[in-house]
Amino acid sequence: MPGEAIVAAGVRTGNPAIAAASGAARVGSHLVRERLQRPRAAGSADIPVSDREITSEWLTAVLCAEHPGAAVESFVPEDRSAGTSTRWRFTVTYNEAGRAAGLPTRLFAKATRTFSQRLTLELAGILTGEPVFFKHLRPGLDIEAPHGYHAGVDLRSGRSISILEDIVATKGATFCTPATPISREQIEDLLTSMATWHGRYWNDPELERHPWLKLPSDHFYNLDKLVRIEKRAKVGARRAEGVIPEDLKSNQDSLYRVLKRSLEVASQGPKTLLHGDSHIGNTYLTSAGRMGFTDWQIVLRGSWAYDVAYTITSGLAVDDRRAWERELLAFYLERLEVASGGRAALDLDAAFLAYRQQSLYPYFLWLATIGRSPIQPKYQPDEVSRGIIERTAMAVRDLDVPAALGGSS
């Protein structure tokens, strides 16, 4: 994927309030200049953040560089939307050389156009995540996930863009929610992909060469600076009280202390590449029946169990998780050992303990999501948050997470 444009950030202050104020001032000044200049992208080093800034010249530069004579003649954007990023789908038309080269025609763009998008991703420490994942790591993975064709990030302005495969058009993808029934075969498909990338990058020195791949404990620290997870989770527990067992609500403070221990554990021992946000809402089903993962913005490095626990506890109905989870873990471990070339041969009982230890973060994260403050974006619909909270709350209770981490049950 050619044309990545990454500008190194300056030294960051250790004070969250000062860092936030400094980042806001810097990003804000860039946005003012952009509105006055109304930039249009032409070369591959440019980073457009809306379809209005994109030109056929720029698309030719980033999509056709490896195919002499190929050029983009036109493009049609559609389905614009905005959340933590600005998104749109578009169709590209090439000249004869481009068509002969089989260049991609159905594409999906994700960009940071607005002030809140840029500042949110910067303060959370994940602005570079997805663009750099698709540049450096995705090409070497044989998994069901979108292909990436270009990425650009400028950490000074917060501008970023990723140009990806439009899997709705190319694979007939439909995206999952907690209301989507997930079968045993489908969850095994997701775990097979997960074992593939976990095995490929198991204790791989390459992960150390990417400083943007944070440990779970460091990611939590960044996220907490932005969201104030403990406070927002208490609000979330009130908003979702109908789906949370009473004993969990009454132990919120002690569970939060256990959460911090859990994330420290996830940052120790053998490390691998983590999706980092592998809940069921970031999965999809293709028309051919394959399950895949999308939204790779929060890639991390740490314990395999961080990803696996998040997918199983958020993705399965409570009764299915209870019936299948140990067998699913054995299934995953077999595929992990193969994918790692035997480097990751884990004992099932020890692995089940690690799985239990990582089953608390999804619960708190989704409490904080539904418990957002009035000035925070609405990251997910409330029904999605409640669905995942209900499942992960029961997992925390069933798996006795405090006891798994050496605390009282």
Cα–Cα distance, 16 to 18 (Å, whole number): 6
The kind and range of the H/E element at 283 are strand 283-285
Cα–Cα distance, 222 to 121 (Å, whole number): 10
Token match 């691998």: residue? Answer: 272
Cα–Cα distance, 43 to 58 (Å, whole number): 5
Q: What single letter denotes the amino acid at residue 32? A: V
Residue burial 49-83, b: 16+ Cβ < 10 Å; e: rest: bbbebbbbebbbbbbbeebeebbbeebeeeeeeee
Write down the pTM of the prediction: 0.90
Per-residue pLDDT of the chain (409 residues; tens, 9 = 90+): 333 222 233 333 345 555 667 777 888 787 778 777 778 888 999 999 999 999 999 999 999 999 999 999 999 999 988 878 899 999 999 999 999 999 999 999 999 988 888 888 887 888 888 988 998 899 989 999 999 999 999 888 889 999 999 999 999 999 999 999 999 999 999 999 999 999 999 999 999 888 889 999 999 998 888 889 999 999 999 999 999 999 898 899 999 999 999 999 999 999 999 999 999 999 999 999 999 999 999 999 999 999 999 999 999 999 999 999 999 999 999 999 999 999 999 999 999 999 999 999 999 999 999 999 887 777 789 999 999 999 999 999 999 999 999 865 4
pLDDT at 10: 30
Residue burial 8-46, b: 16+ Cβ < 10 Å; e: rest: eeeeeeeeeeebbeebeebbeebbeeeeeeeeebeebeb
Count of C-beta atoms within a 10 Å radius of residue 147: 14
In 3D space, the residue among 116, 39, 105 whose CA is nearest the CA of residue 73 turns out to be: 105
In 3D space, the residue among 313, 3, 286, 316 whose CA is nearest the CA of residue 169 turns out to be: 286
**Architecture category of domain 172-404 in CATH:** Alpha-Beta Complex (3.90)
pLDDT at 13: 38
Contact 130, 111 (CB under 8 A): no
- Say if strands 174-175 and 86-94 run parallel, antiparallel, or are unpaired: unpaired
Contact 37, 168 (CB under 8 A): no
Contact 58, 72 (CB under 8 A): no
pLDDT at 4: 28
In this structure, what token pair is assigned to residue 95? 């000249």
User: Where do the domains of the chain lie?
Assistant: 6-169, 172-404
Token match 């779970």: residue? Answer: 216
Cα–Cα distance, 104 to 303 (Å, whole number): 35
What are residue 90's DSSP bridge partners? 77, 107
Cα–Cα distance, 302 to 215 (Å, whole number): 6
- Say if strands 159-165 and 174-175 run parallel, antiparallel, or are unpaired: unpaired
Token match 């609500």: residue? Answer: 249
φ, ψ for residue 151, nearest 5 deg: -150, 145
Helix spans in 111-183 (H): 115-123, 129-132, 167-171
Cα–Cα distance, 62 to 149 (Å, whole number): 8
Cβ-proximal residues to 350 (8 Å cutoff; 6+ apart), any chain: none
Token match 């946000």: residue? Answer: 277
Helix spans in 240-281 (H): 246-250, 252-266
The kind and range of the H/E element at 356 are helix 348-357
Contact 165, 108 (CB under 8 A): yes
